[in-house]
A and B are shown apart, each in its own frame.
Chain A
C-alpha cells in the first residue's frame, strides 16, 4: 500500500477524490448555515455550486498530492533544495513528477495517446449509432454527450500530444540540457491529468449536450456535466499557457552556440509560433467558459438576453481562442513534415526561411479570422466581408508550405520507411483539409455549408493532416531515440496502409453528404435523405482506422519487449540528437554542441550541421 502511494499519479488521484469531497462539503455547510438548500437529488446529491467548488479544490489537491509543488513550497519556507533531482530507474519515474524534459515529454505523449484512444472509442460508439437512420442503441442525450466529449477529449489530447513532442524535441534540437524552467514544466504536465478526470467525470454527472463549443443559452441550462466540462477546460488551459511560456523562454535563451534564428531546425520555428498563440489566446476560452460558469452559479446574466446579456458575445470570446487554437494544433505537425522530408529525400528543405516565416505568418493572420465561425450567427452583416478577406489570406502562407514540400521532393532520392509514409500521408490529408477550407471561408458558400457534415469532414482532414499523421510519423521516427529500439517496419506499414485510405474515404464521405444536406451533431437523420448507405461505409471506415491504431499499439508493445535494438543514427539524420547514442542520456549532451552549418544540407555530405566541443 505504501509502495503504491509513493507513486505520484496514484497519490494525486486519491488526493483529488478527498479534495473534491472536502470542497463540496465546505460549500454544503456554508449553504446550510445560510439557510439555502444543502443537497439536491437532481444534481447527484450535492448542489451545483458544491460540485463546482469541490471539482476546483480536487484539482488543487491532485497537484499538491503528486508533490510537484514541493520544491516551491520549500523555497517559500526559505529552505534550499538541490537543483537536479535524479529520477528512479525503470518505468516508475513516468508515474511521478520528474524534472527531466524527456520524461515529461513521454508523460505527455502517453497521456495523449490514452486520451486519443478514449476519444476515439467515443467516436466509434456514436459512429456505430449513425450507421443506419433511426435510433439503434443510444439515447438522444447519450449521443449528444458522447459527441461533445469526443470533441473536447480529442482537443485536449492533441494539446498534450504537441506538448509532448515539443517538450521532448526542442531542448534536444537546440542543444539545451533541459527546458528553461524544469519545475514549471513538471507543473504544466501535472495539471493536465486532473483536468482530464474532470472532463470524463461529466459523463457520470448528467453529461452535456452542447458540443465542445458550449454555446449559451443552451449551456446555461444543460445538466451538471456542463460545469465539469467548463472547469476541466479551464484547468487544462493552464497547462497550455505555462507550457508555451516555458518553451518560448527556452528557445530564446538556451540555444547552442552558433544557432542563429535561421539555423534552428524548422520544427523549433513551428514550436515557437504555436507557443506564441497558446500563450496569448488560451485565456479567452478559459474566460468565456468561466463567464458561463458564473452565469449558472451566481445568476450573472453575461449571455442571458432576459438580463440584457448577449449570446453572440460568447461566440466572439470563444472563437478568439478556438480559431487560433487550430493553428496551435497544426503548426507543430506542419513543422514535423518540414523537418522529416529532407531526411528521407536527402536534399535541403526548399526555401527554409520562407517556410519558417510562413509559420509566423499563419500564427499572426490566425488571430484575425475568428468570426468566420459566425457567418450565420446574426452578427453584423457587413462585418462578414472583412473576415472573409482575412480568412482567405491564411491560404497564402499555407500554400507556401505545400509548394515548398513538393519542391523539396523534386529531384531528391526518395526513400519510404514508415515515418516518411506518414509524412506523405500528412501532406495529402492536410491538402484535402486545405482545399475544403476556402468554401467555408467564402461567405456565400458558407451560408450553405455552415453546421453541416462538410465542416466535420474538413475539420477532420486538417486535424489528421496537421496533427495525427505527423504525430505518428514523429513517434515512428524518434521512438529509437527515446527507447533504443526501432518500431517494427512491417507493422508500421500495415498501420499506414490501413489507416490512410480508410481515413480519406471517411472524410470525403462526410463532405459529400454534408453538401447534400446532412447536418452535424445529430443523433438521427431522415431516411428520406438517402444517406444510410454512405453512413454505413463511414462507420466501416472508422472501424478500420481503429484497427490500424490497435496495430500501432501492438507494435509499441512488441517492440518494447523484443524489438530491434538500435543505438546509432538510424535515419542518418543531421540533427544533433542523433549524433549521440540512443537512448538519450539524462542530461542530454555531455559536451556542449556548436552549430557550424546549415540544418538541412543533406545533399552536401561533407558539410556538418553541428560539432561537439572538445
Chain B
C-alpha cells in the first residue's frame, strides 16, 4: 500500500510537470483564425490527457525498475499475482468513458470549425502542379496571392486540374485536400493581420516542396484598396510585355521546372529557347517559334522534347495576353 501511495503522488507531480513543460515549449504556431482557437482548445485538453497517461505508465514503470529490481544474491521469485478482475474492468471501463467523452468533444469542435457565415467572401482556389491561383468572382479579379480581409469569413472553393493537393496555412490550423474532378470547401475566419504562407500538404509530384503562395490578411480598407488596384491592373494590359511574363513565370510555378540560366530541370530550360531548333521524342525537329511555344503552354502533351517525360506538365488555362507575355519573356532570354 505504501508503494501505491508514493506512486500516486509521483504520478500527480509528474502530470503537472509534463503539462507545464509542454506549454512552456510553445508547441503550436501563432493563432490567426477563429478556427484555430477551436482547434487549440481541443489540443490543450489532449495535452492534459497525454501528460496524465504518460505519467500513469512511466512513473510505476520506473518505480518498479528501481524498487523491485532483483538485488545481487537474491534467488527468489516475484509475488504470485495472476490478475485482478475488478482492476481489469476498471482500466477498461474508465478509458472507454474517456474516449467517448473525447470523441464527443472532438465532434463539437469539428462542428465549430465548420460554422457557416452566409456573408462569407468567396474565393475560388485552384491548386495545380506546383502553384496556387486565387479568383475573386465577386470582383472579377485573379491573383497569385491570397488577400483576405480580417475578421470576415472566407469560403474557399478548392479545385485542381491535375492531382490531389492540400490547402494548409498552419496559423489557421484547418486543412483541406483539393481533389481533381470536384470542388471541396474550406471556411476560414482570419483574426490577425499579417503575412502567412499556404503550402501544399499532400505530396503532388516533383516540386511539391515548393508549392506555396503568400496569404496576406489585411484590414477591410486595405483589402478594398488592393481590389481596386487589381481591377485597374487587369484593364491596363496592352500588348505582350516581358516584365509581366517574368512575373507570371515566377508566380504560376513555371520556375519550378524551367530554368532561365540554362541549368537542367524537370522541363527544358528557357534560356536561348526562342527560335532554336528542338528535337522531339519522336525524332522530328521543330523550331521553337511563337506558335510552338503557345501550343506547348496550352497543351503540354502535344509535343514532347526528347529526353523529357510526358505528363509532367499540366495544361495551363491562361488568357491569350498572358501567353503572349510569357512568350515575350522567353524571347528576352537569349
21 contacts between A and B (CB under 8 A): A41-B306, A206-B309, A217-B163, A223-B309, A305-B181, A348-B83, A350-B83, A388-B106, A396-B99, A407-B84, A412-B68, A413-B78, A414-B64, A439-B43, A444-B113, A445-B42, A445-B109, A448-B170, A450-B166, A517-B199, A524-B209
CB of A385 within 8 A of CB of B107, answer: yes
Interface membership of B252, Cβ < 8 A = no
CB of A141 within 8 A of CB of B181, answer: no
Known: A346-B78, A414-B64. A450 touches B201 (CB 8 A): yes
Q: Shortest distance in angstroms between B35's beta carbon and chain A's nearest beta carbon?
A: 8
CB of B60 within 8 A of CB of A450, answer: no
Interface membership of B266, Cβ < 8 A = yes
CB of A347 within 8 A of CB of B77, answer: yes
CB of B27 within 8 A of CB of A411, answer: no
Q: Please tell me which one of the listed residues A41, A222, A410, A452 contacts residue B60 in the complex, with CB atoms under 8 A apart.
A: A410
- Main secondary structure on chain B at its contact with chain A? mixed
**Which residues of chain B have C-beta atoms less than 8 A from A445's C-beta?**
39, 42-43, 46, 106, 109
Identify the closest chain B residue to A342 (Cβ). Answer: B78
Minimum-distance CB pairs A-B, first 6? A305-B181, A347-B78, A444-B109, A517-B170, A412-B78, A442-B106
Q: Shortest distance in angstroms between A416's beta carbon and chain B's nearest beta carbon?
A: 8
**Which residues of chain B have C-beta atoms less than 8 A from A413's C-beta?**
68, 70, 74, 76-78
CB of B64 within 8 A of CB of A409, answer: yes
Interface residues of A in 491-542 (CB under 8 A from B): 512, 515-517, 519-526
Interface membership of A415, Cβ < 8 A = yes
CB of A348 within 8 A of CB of B203, answer: no
Of residues B50, B77, B114, which shows the largest number of chain A Cβ atoms within 10 Å of its Cβ?
B77
Of residues B27, B84, B166, B179, which shows the largest number of chain A Cβ atoms within 10 Å of its Cβ?
B179
Q: Shortest distance in angstroms between B324's beta carbon and chain A's nearest beta carbon?
A: 29
Contact with B along A30-69 (1 / 0, CB 8 A): 0000000000011000000000000000000000000000
How many Å lie between the Cα of A404 and that of B281 in the bound state? 65
Interface membership of B19, Cβ < 8 A = no
* Complex interface: stretch among A3-11, A465-473, A476-484, A599-607: A599-607
How many Å lie between the Cα of A236 and that of B25 in the bound state? 43
CB of A407 within 8 A of CB of B87, answer: yes
**Which residues of chain B have C-beta atoms less than 8 A from A210's C-beta?**
203
* Complex interface: stretch among A95-103, A157-165, A271-279, A306-314: A306-314
Known: A402-B57, A444-B39. A410 touches B181 (CB 8 A): no
Interface membership of B164, Cβ < 8 A = yes
Identify the closest chain A residue to B310 (Cβ). Answer: A42
Interface membership of B177, Cβ < 8 A = yes
Interface residues of B in 295-311 (CB under 8 A from A): 306, 309-311
**Which residues of chain A have C-beta atoms less than 8 A from B68's C-beta?**
409-414
Interface membership of B223, Cβ < 8 A = no
Q: Please tell me which one of the listed residues B3, B88, B106, B182 contacts residue A351 in the complex, with CB atoms under 8 A apart.
A: B88
Known: A392-B103, A413-B70, A413-B76. A447 touches B39 (CB 8 A): yes
Contact with A along B67-84 (1 / 0, CB 8 A): 011100010111111111
Q: Please tell me which one of the listed residues B84, B203, B306 contacts residue A218 in the complex, with CB atoms under 8 A apart.
A: B203
Known: A211-B203, A431-B58. A523 touches B92 (CB 8 A): no
Contact with B along A333-360 (1 / 0, CB 8 A): 0000000000001111011111000000
**Which residues of chain A have C-beta atoms less than 8 A from B199's C-beta?**
517, 519
Identify the closest chain B residue to A518 (Cβ). Answer: B170
CB of A312 within 8 A of CB of B179, answer: yes
How many Å lie between the Cα of A391 and that of B83 in the bound state? 27
How many Å lie between the Cα of A386 and that of B27 in the bound state? 28
How many Å lie between the Cα of A354 and that of B84 in the bound state? 10
**Which residues of chain A have C-beta atoms less than 8 A from B310's C-beta?**
42
Q: Shortest distance in angstroms between B164's beta carbon and chain A's nearest beta carbon?
A: 6
Contact with A along B295-334 (1 / 0, CB 8 A): 0000000000010011110000000000000000000000
Identify the closest chain A residue to B108 (Cβ). Answer: A444
Interface membership of B24, Cβ < 8 A = no
How many Å lie between the Cα of A222 and that of B25 in the bound state? 40
**Which residues of chain B have C-beta atoms less than 8 A from A524's C-beta?**
209-210
**Which residues of chain A have C-beta atoms less than 8 A from B80's C-beta?**
347-348, 601, 603-604
CB of A409 within 8 A of CB of B65, answer: yes
**Which residues of chain B have C-beta atoms less than 8 A from A381's C-beta?**
114
**Which residues of chain B have C-beta atoms less than 8 A from A144's C-beta?**
203, 205-206, 208
Interface membership of A22, Cβ < 8 A = no
Q: Which residues of A contact B (CB under 8 A)?
A: 41-42, 140-141, 144, 206, 209-211, 215, 217-218, 221-223, 305-306, 309-312, 345-348, 350-354, 376-378, 381, 384-385, 388-389, 392-393, 395-396, 399-400, 402-404, 406-407, 409-416, 424, 427-428, 431, 435-436, 438-439, 442-445, 447-448, 450-452, 512, 515-517, 519-526, 598, 601-605
CB of A409 within 8 A of CB of B61, answer: yes
Of residues A393, A409, A520, which shows the largest number of chain B Cβ atoms within 10 Å of its Cβ?
A409
**Which residues of chain A have C-beta atoms less than 8 A from B180's C-beta?**
217, 305, 311
How many Å lie between the Cα of A211 and that of B204 in the bound state? 10
**Which residues of chain A have C-beta atoms less than 8 A from B203's C-beta?**
144, 209-211, 215, 218, 520-521
CB of A435 within 8 A of CB of B50, answer: yes
Known: A311-B180, A450-B201. A605 touches B77 (CB 8 A): yes
Identify the closest chain A residue to B209 (Cβ). Answer: A522
CB of A396 within 8 A of CB of B179, answer: no
CB of B102 within 8 A of CB of A523, answer: no
CB of A348 within 8 A of CB of B82, answer: yes
Known: A140-B206, A389-B99, A598-B82. 12 other contacts (CB 8 A): A140-B207, A144-B205, A209-B206, A217-B180, A350-B81, A376-B176, A389-B100, A400-B92, A410-B3, A428-B61, A515-B27, A604-B80
Q: Please tell me which one of the listed residues A310, A384, A415, A520 contacts residue B110 in the complex, with CB atoms under 8 A apart.
A: A384
CB of B64 within 8 A of CB of A412, answer: yes
How many Å lie between the Cα of A335 and that of B100 in the bound state? 27
How many Å lie between the Cα of A604 and that of B76 in the bound state? 10
**Which residues of chain A have C-beta atoms less than 8 A from B96's C-beta?**
393, 396
Interface membership of B136, Cβ < 8 A = no
Q: Shortest distance in angstroms between A126's beta carbon and chain B's nearest beta carbon?
A: 12
Known: A140-B206, A442-B42. A395 touches B309 (CB 8 A): no
CB of A388 within 8 A of CB of B107, answer: yes
**Which residues of chain B have C-beta atoms less than 8 A from A306's C-beta?**
181
Q: Shortest distance in angstroms between A153's beta carbon and chain B's nearest beta carbon?
A: 18
CB of A354 within 8 A of CB of B65, answer: no
CB of A392 within 8 A of CB of B99, answer: yes
How many Å lie between the Cα of A328 and that of B205 in the bound state? 30
How many Å lie between the Cα of A377 and that of B95 in the bound state? 29
**Which residues of chain B have C-beta atoms less than 8 A from A416's C-beta?**
65, 69
Q: Shortest distance in angstroms between B87's beta carbon and chain A's nearest beta carbon?
A: 7
Known: A351-B84, A402-B57, A451-B202. A411 touches B79 (CB 8 A): yes
Q: Shortest distance in angstroms between B92's beta carbon and chain A's nearest beta carbon?
A: 6
Q: Shortest distance in angstroms between B138's beta carbon and chain A's nearest beta carbon?
A: 24
CB of A443 within 8 A of CB of B107, answer: yes
CB of A400 within 8 A of CB of B170, answer: no
How many Å lie between the Cα of A4 and that of B54 in the bound state? 55
Q: Please tell me which one of the listed residues A305, A354, A439 contacts residue B182 in the complex, with CB atoms under 8 A apart.
A: A305
Q: Shortest distance in angstroms between A256's beta carbon and chain B's nearest beta carbon?
A: 22
Identify the closest chain B residue to A224 (Cβ). Answer: B309
**Which residues of chain A have C-beta atoms less than 8 A from B87's C-beta?**
351, 403, 407
How many Å lie between the Cα of A445 and that of B168 in the bound state? 13
Q: Shortest distance in angstroms between A410's beta carbon and chain B's nearest beta carbon?
A: 6
**Which residues of chain B have C-beta atoms less than 8 A from A376's C-beta?**
166, 175-177, 201
